Amino acid sequence: MSASRPIFLDYASTTPLDEEVLAAMMPYFTTYYGNASSKSHAFGWISEDAVEIARQEIASFIACIKEELVFTSGATESINLALRGITEPLAGLKNHIIAFADEHRAVLDTLYDLEKRGYQITLLPVDTNGQINISDLVDAITEQTLLISCMYANNETGVIHPVQKIGAIAKEKNKFFFCDATQAFGKIPINVQDDNIDMMAFSAHKIYGPKGVGALYIRRKDPRVMLTPQITGGSQERNLRSGTLNVAGIVGFGKAVARCKSNIITESERITELRMFLERTCKEYLNITIQGEHTDRLPNICNITLNDYEGSTLIPALCNKIAVSSGSACNSGNTSGSHVLKAMELTKEQMNKTFRISLGRMTTKEEIDLAIETIRLINNK
């Protein structure tokens, strides 16, 4: 192990596995290793039971029924299944999709691919606070509109979108509503009925569960959403996602949700308080801008621009001490800068002085004190 690992303040990119989640998963690697699709013996039944218990746990957390959940390899796959799966049955009928400029790359790149295949994509802007405009949405809807896509909360700024309003509009106009809730799920309560969400993608590894497991919620009633599977084979997951189920991963996902369920209010209060302390203290000593500051934001994400910073290598300098991100870790290979900050009209120069700090279950006051000290030192260089 390296002598000095930085403090992890990048929980929006991924999270460590909760100890209780690991403990719940372990027997399913070595003792209960049956294939959940094996109907003829106890090995299979035990695995199937474990999967269905997890499915119920997750379903009740978002107020759907368990038959409305499909397990996948993560949010990226769920997003692909939702966006590609819904377009295919209606190909040639409705071909217009509306989304917003701050969507995750998994949504944007899938939409760009659909655009190449003949779909018409309208990407609506976000303002300088990272907020969407409802009347833009209403104006963009046409006869040809099949689907509206809006993420629940942005992964770079933490800005929460008015999902309930969008859902109500989608329902009234008879359009499907897809929501990438990967960043909001487990951090704030989500109810797919109240929000009129038709499809929702989310992932285990952002909520102290294992990597490589996710889910897609697919509404069964009012309206019934019909999808074309994107992975064919053994007909698992009601034929919507073939492949042997990742039983240990799904058990871990269920346990991670159970842990969120019992802690969501106290945990979000504690983390919000730490984040506010960080923001308040930084503002006291430094000339900073907090992106999306005066909006509804997730408890744990803070996107800071160090206005007086003069250097050119902010992120590497910070990351000796605190592991933070220049935006979204998911496209860190990309050097053209964050599409989210660009959509919020930050200049390239401002983007170079901006970083995302994201807190989590394991974050302590001492860690935040050290983060503040590190940011102050860097800023004065």
Ligand X SMILES: *Cc1c(COP(=O)(O)O)cnc(C)c1O
Enumerate residues 325-344 that contact ligand X by CB under 6 A. 330
Nearer to ligand X, 217 or 309 (CB): 217
330 is catalytic: yes
Nearer to ligand X, 94 or 104 (CB): 104
Does 94 bind ligand X (CB under 6 A)? Our answer is: no
**Which residue in the set 209, 214, 327, 360 belongs to the binding site for ligand X (CB under 6 A)?**
214
Number of residues that bind ligand X (CB under 6 A): 15
Nearer to ligand X, 132 or 378 (CB): 132
Does 299 bind ligand X (CB under 6 A)? Our answer is: no
Query: Closest distance between ligand X and the C-beta of residue 214, in Å?
Result: 5
Instruction: Name beta bridge partners: 98.
Output: 122, 148
Query: Closest distance between ligand X and the C-beta of residue 188, in Å?
Result: 13
Does 241 bind ligand X (CB under 6 A)? Our answer is: no
Does 206 bind ligand X (CB under 6 A)? Our answer is: yes
Contact letters for ligand X, residues 179-198 (x by CB under 6 A): -x-xx---------------
Q: Is the dihedral of CA 27, 30, 36, 41 positive or negative?
A: negative
Does 203 bind ligand X (CB under 6 A)? Our answer is: yes
299 preceded by cis ω (within 30°)? no
**Which residue in the set 47, 76, 196, 303 belongs to the binding site for ligand X (CB under 6 A)?**
76
Does 15 bind ligand X (CB under 6 A)? Our answer is: no
Q: Cα–Cα distance between 307 and 351 in angstroms, integer?
A: 10
Does 215 bind ligand X (CB under 6 A)? Our answer is: no
Nearer to ligand X, 177 or 309 (CB): 177
Q: Cα–Cα distance between 141 and 230 in angstroms, integer?
A: 27
Smallest CA-to-CA distance from 81 within 210, 209, 218 is with 218
Does 130 bind ligand X (CB under 6 A)? Our answer is: no
Distances (CA, A) of 317 to 10, 282, 381: 15, 17, 10
Q: Cα–Cα distance between 103 and 297 in angstroms, integer?
A: 16
Q: What residue has token string 């802007």? A: 125
Does 249 bind ligand X (CB under 6 A)? Our answer is: no
- Cβ 124 vs Cβ 137: under 8 Å: yes
Angle at CA 154, nearest 5°, toward 153 and 159? 70
**Which residue in the set 15, 155, 325, 326 belongs to the binding site for ligand X (CB under 6 A)?**
155
Does 157 bind ligand X (CB under 6 A)? Our answer is: no
User: Which residue type is seen at 23?
Assistant: A
Query: Closest distance between ligand X and the C-beta of residue 224, in Å?
Result: 25
Q: Cα–Cα distance between 156 and 339 in angstroms, integer?
A: 10
Between helices 365-379 and 247-285, what is the axis angle to 10°? 50
**Which residue in the set 25, 61, 74, 300 belongs to the binding site for ligand X (CB under 6 A)?**
74
Q: Where are the beta strands (DSSP E) in the chain?
A: 7-8, 69-72, 96-100, 120-124, 145-149, 176-180, 199-203, 214-218, 288-290, 301-306, 322-323, 354-358
Does 268 bind ligand X (CB under 6 A)? Our answer is: no
Does 219 bind ligand X (CB under 6 A)? Our answer is: no
In this structure, how many other beta carbons lie within 10 angstroms of the beta carbon of residue 234?
13
Nearer to ligand X, 110 or 379 (CB): 110
Among all residues, which ones are annotated catalytic?
Answer: 330
The residue ranges that bind ligand X (CB under 6 A) are 74-76, 104, 106, 151, 155, 180, 182-183, 203, 205-206, 214, 330
